Structure 1
Amino acid sequence: MKLSREINAFMQRLGHEFDRPELLLRALTHPSIATPARPDNQRFEFLGDRVLGLVMAEALLAADKTAREGQLAPRFNALVRKETCAEIARAIDLGAVLRLGRSEMISGGRRKQAILGDAMEAVIAAVYLDSGFNVARDVILTLWGDRITQVEADSRDAKTLLQEWAQARGMALPDYTEAARSGPDHAPVFTIDVRLENGATAQATAGSKRQAEQQAASALLALLDRPE
């Protein structure tokens, strides 16, 4: 299969040359441009998430042989979350080779965190299907690099921190509500409100409910005293 110069350059940045490049092309195909003859990357995203999870679990156990499960879990979450996957995708300029529909390109899809994070997981699956687990592990460990050993022991996400802030002050758990939803079905945009029992509120908008909730929690934390 003859590949474009951009795809060949991306494989160099990724650190893997595909024997079956059609797997990479599928991993780069967003639902906004998919057809029956050109399937999207959502099934690959599902698989890649699991491959990434196993690699990170193994790597964390090897990096700290005395850590308890309660210490490992937040580190794991920090390494596999969509935000981190999107950071890796940006580092290798994955957005430049994404196959997007016209409307998604116009709306800045090549820079959207949710799209980049999903595509990074899909590319991991493509590497795994192309060359097996050991090769996929090597690619992942190279791309994640020092993040694995430098991840904070206390890598709790914003929602967890906000929950702990409220509980430490005898308040009910934060309340998250969907204030609005827009965009096409294949790429919805959610606006989430978060409210504490004391009346403090914040709002955020993102390409997934989870991401919007995290950003809303982070915004509210910025208005409050951070938990100890």
Structure 2
Amino acid sequence: MDLFSENISRFEELIGYRFLNRRLLEEALTHRSYLNETSEKGLSDNERLEFFGDSVLSLMVTYRLFMGFPEKHEGELTRMRAALVDEAALARSAVALDIGGLIRLGRGEERTGGRAKKSILADAYEALLGALYLDGGEKAAAPLIEAHFTAATKLLPGRDSKSEFQEVAQAAMGVTPVYRTIDASGPDHARVFTVAAYLGDELVGEGSGTSKKEAEQAAARRGLERLAGGCGSGRP
């Protein structure tokens, strides 16, 4: 077994998936520059797999955003998706898997630091997702996409308490928080709203603010504090 084959065998152990068609994985890790400098026959670069993997990633990320953030409107979801699938985010996931150390590159790309180039890493990561999906369907690709989604979501700009509370509640209890306005007081020009946050039937946080959105954020912060300390009885 040559060094490349040994390395991808270890890589399969790392990602917890053994390819039925090993050539798909080899192709995903082959940059076009390598083909220009090798005499090996029957090789393909990873550009077609990258094209396919891009669509797989976009669909599965879109599904997770749609299901995980029911309060977000279309424009917000679009911006979030763009940040989750951009080159920098994909390159970070590739680095986490040390894909740069596995890619077959031409000597020219090797000399110019190709293994650390974000574009090459991001393309190889998408090609890997495409290879996984073609080899084993959604079940094979889902674990890597889930890991990418979780890590990249934490780095989204403008993360708010409601989003964080929802993520924590779904992970810990499998439920989505529900917010109910329980009080509105004061004159029209200075209204104060009080909102209660529920997980199922349990009240886990209350918050007040000069708008319902502000009150929901305050209630979510209380809910996060409550979950951090363990849900129990008594008024939040």
User: Shorter-chain TM-score: which interval?
Assistant: 0.5 to 0.7
Q: Alpha-carbon deviations, 1:25-68, whole Å to 9, x = none?
A: 00011000126621111011100000000010001112111210
Residue 42 of structure 2 aligns to a residue whose secondary structure is coil
Residue 76 of structure 1 aligns to a residue whose secondary structure is helix
Tell me by how many angstroms 1:150 deviates: 5.7
Question: Does 1:120 pair with 2:122?
Answer: no
| One-letter amino acid matched to 1:15 | G
| One-letter amino acid matched to 2:26 | L
Q: Alpha-carbon deviations, 1:159-180, whole Å to 9, x = none?
A: xxxxxxxxxxxxxxxxxxxxxx
For 1:14, the equivalent position in structure 2 comes to 15
Write the mapping of 1:197-208 to structure 2, written as runs, cut at 5 A. none
2:98 pairs, out of 89, 93, 102, with 93
Tell me by how many angstroms 1:144 deviates: 3.3
Question: Does 1:103 pair with 2:108?
Answer: yes
Question: Does 1:72 pair with 2:73?
Answer: no
Alignment TM-score, normalising by the size of structure 1: 0.62
Distance in 2 between the 1:68 and 1:103 partners?
46
Tell me by how many angstroms 1:18 deviates: 1.0
Asked if the contact 1:27–1:122 (Cα under 8 Å) also holds between the matched residues in 2, the reply is yes
For 1:4, the equivalent position in structure 2 comes to 5
- Structure 1: state its 5+ residue gaps: 155-228
For 1:24, the equivalent position in structure 2 comes to 25
Alignment TM-score, normalising by the size of structure 2: 0.60
Residue 135 of structure 1 aligns to a residue whose secondary structure is helix
Asked if the contact 1:72–1:153 (Cα under 8 Å) also holds between the matched residues in 2, the reply is no
| One-letter amino acid matched to 1:31 | R
For 2:89, the equivalent position in structure 1 comes to 84
Give the structure, 1 or 2, with the largest relative contact order (CA under 8 Å, sep 6 or more). Answer: 1
Asked if the contact 1:59–1:148 (Cα under 8 Å) also holds between the matched residues in 2, the reply is no
Distance in 1 between the 2:98 and 2:45 partners?
20
Distance in 2 between the 1:89 and 1:15 partners?
16
Q: Alpha-carbon deviations, 1:54-109, whole Å to 9, x = none?
A: 01000111211121001111110000111111110001100111000111111111
Tell me by how many angstroms 1:17 deviates: 1.8
For 1:192, the equivalent position in structure 2 comes to none
For 1:45, the equivalent position in structure 2 comes to 50
Distance in 1 between the 2:154 and 2:92 partners?
17
CA change 1:79–1:50 in 2 (3 A) is same
CA change 1:26–1:131 in 2 (3 A) is same
- Structure 2: state its 5+ residue gaps: 160-236
For 1:54, the equivalent position in structure 2 comes to 59
CA change 1:145–1:9 in 2 (3 A) is farther
Aligned length: 154
Q: Percent identity?
A: 37
| One-letter amino acid matched to 1:127 | L
Distance in 2 between the 1:85 and 1:70 partners?
22
Residue 44 of structure 2 aligns to a residue whose secondary structure is coil
**Which protein has the larger Cα radius of gyration, Structure 1 or Structure 2?**
2
